[in-house]
Each structure stands twice: as structure tokens, then as C-alpha cells.
Structure 1
Amino acid sequence: MLNIRHMRSAALAAGALALTLPAAADYHSKRGQDSYGARGHGGGIVLHADARFSGESIRLKGAEPDLSRFHFNDRVSSISLRSGAWEVCTDANFRGRCEIIDADVARLNAYRLNDNISSVRPVSRRGDWRDRPDHRGDWRGGRRGHGGLVLFADSQLRGPSVEIGEDVPDLSPYRFNDKASSFLVTGGTWQVCEHANFRGRCEIISGGEGELKPIRMNDNISSIRRFSGRR
């Protein structure tokens, strides 16, 4: 009887822990294997607690400024990618030392990042993707799997960049507040606003690429959302 009660208590505790995990990530506790199966299944980045893609793991599909929310702060030892390139940082809110990861990493010791990652976010490769002959097709053709809006820190689609695929009420967690100078629309129509939470002066952008200076939004965007006729 004591064993049964103990098992029931453990099951209830595990259920309570699962309920505390944010819905923005998938959480797995399989050990000794990749929790997400074959390469290319799903999108985003998978963080593994142990080397060689083993141990507990979570899959993130967007920027996460603080891994403590997932009980995964300073616990990552290997990384497998499902799409794109990602920036990983030693401190929360994308601060401290940051590195760009664009391929699977079986051991983070080589980057001096083992058990030393606190925030992650998707990024484009800075400066090199533009030099490919079909760089626009690389975005528009669905390398990320869906259309969105890419913001660039410099004019003519150059400099650091960030791809937006959903409503973002505050660009500060992306470290891109009031930094955008040019844009590339890969799908949809977007409203960009000068203040957080879609306040202040807003402009609509859609279709192709352009400069933000003509619409007086250069270094002046703090929030972004998809635009529809109902808004």
C-alpha cells in the first residue's frame, strides 16, 4: 500500500511540473536518444541537457530571452537545429557572450558554452546570405517554412537582421528596438509601430523590400504585427 501511495504521489508531482512548463516549447525527458527523431522533423532549435543530443531536451520555435522559464538555464550541453541559424547567449535577454549556431553541435565545450546558455533567438546569417545568387529566394522560397518580415539594421538589406513571423508587441527582447533601417517582406502585410504594444505612429508595409527612411520609420520601430482589413 505504501508503494502504491508513493507511485501516485510521484505521478501527481510529475503532472504538476508539466503544467508549469510554458506552452511555447516542447519538453521531453527521453535519454540516450534524440527526443525529436529524424532530422528535419518540425522546426526551431532543440536544446539537449547532455552531450551528443541526449538527456532531457526542449524544442523552441522562437526567441526565448530567459531559459529559466523552462528550468533549462545553464543546462544545455548540445544543440540540434531544425531550421535556420540561432544566436545563443550566456546571459538572459540576449546579453553576455553570444555565438551564432548554424549547424548541429554535439558538444558545446568547443564554444565554451557547455552549461552556459541562458537565452536563444533565431537570426539570419549576418552579411553572407545576401551574397548568394538567389538570396531573396532563400527567404521567399520558404527556408523558414512560412512567410514573414525580415528587418535589417542597415540600409539595402545589410547588417544584423531578425525575421518576424508573428505579432511582436516589443522588439526589445530581440535587441532590435529602434534599430531597423530596411526590410524584406517574405509573406503577408505588416503593421510597424514606433512604440511598444502597437502604439504611436504606425505604417503598413507589404510586398518585396525597401527602405524605412521614406516612411519616417528608420531606427523607429518598436512593435510589429500582421495586418488585416479588420484592423
Structure 2
Amino acid sequence: MKHTALKTLAFAAALLSQIAAAHAGEITLFSRDNFRGEEVTIRDGARDLRDAGFNDRTSSLIVHSGVWEVCEHKDFGGYCAVFERGQHNDLRRFNNSISSLRQIERGGRGNGGGFRDRDGDGRDDRAERREEWRERRDDRGPGGQPGFNRPDPIELFEHARFEGRRVSFQGEMRSLRAADFNDRASSMVIYEGQWQLCEHDNFGGQCVVYGPGRYDNLGPMNDKPSSLRRIR
């Protein structure tokens, strides 16, 4: 009986190890374009590539698995962007400018696929939202200035299903305490861009990237965001 229990525990441990390996990310950085030159492979992230002797040296990279955020300064500061699985030879502004990187989670795109018509008017709610965005974007204010009524690109809501108090932002917020919204967001609307939400100030802790859409529940990030920024 004891032997059977030990075998069961060993099997469970091996299974958990396989699951963890399947979710572990891996990225290789190259010092020259076309995946040439010196290289370094990162699996657990790096807060400062000086420790690996690779600060500001990356000219191409390959994401073997996972979704990775790369940043121009150490501790994930400065300008950051997200790279998904594949070969990336053209790093644009990141050529020789990467100082830190980490694996992140990719948020879903709203409430999933399929037709949604909560207001019962026979039209997909997402199409209506896009049309509303275009109309507000193209509105003219006093003196004919374009975009006078243009909404901020991201809105956070205090409760699920876009209820409760809400706040909107145009750019990064290193601490949502300044808006009295720390650890309070439960739903969100993104009108444009890719946005990173993090559970701690200054983009620390767990971070998730979301694209345009309506998120009526933030799932694992519910009531957790403490900082946010646009990364694309």
C-alpha cells in the first residue's frame, strides 16, 4: 500500500513538472542581426542584462515559447514592447537597447468570440462600440479641432460588467493610487492599443497584456492592478 502511494506521488510530481515545463518561456538573444554573433538564452527573465553581460547588445531574438516583454531600461523600465513566439530580426527601436525582459501572460480579447447583443438591437455590441469610437474620434469641437470628444484609450471600472466608479487614462500610470483606484479595477474597456496591467506599483509583480476590447471581468487580475501603461 505504501509502495503504491509513493508511486502515485512520484507520478503526480512528474506530471506537475511537465505542466510547469510546458508553461515555461524561453527566449534567445543575439548580438547581431539575422540571429548571428554571441547569444544568450533566458528562461526565468532578467531584471538587468548586465548580469548576463548582454546589456544593450541585442540585435535579433527568437522567442521559443511564451510571450515576452522586453524593456529598454533595467527593472522593466522605460519603453517596453511585447514579442510573441517566432523569429524577430527587425527590432526597430530596440536594436542594441534591451536591458531587461520577462515572460508575461497575454490577456484574452474581451468576452470571447461569437455574436453578442446585450441591448437586444440585433447588432453585435463590439461592432457598435467600434462605430461609437470612430464617431467620437471624428467629432469636431469648438473651432473645428479634430478629436475634441475623443475618449481616452483605456477605461477601468470598479465592478464587473462595467459597473461602479470608472476612470480613464491616456498614458502610463506608475501608481493607480494617484487616481484613488489602486487594487480596485474589476472590468475594463480598451479602445486602442496594447496595454499592460501590473499588480504592483512601477509595473512590478504579475503583469498581463490586453488588446482592444471589452473585458467584463479581469479574471486573475480582478482587483489587482496597481499600475498600467501602453506598450504598443
TM-score normalised according to structure 1 size:
0.41
Q: Which has the higher helix share?
A: 2
TM-score normalised according to structure 2 size:
0.41
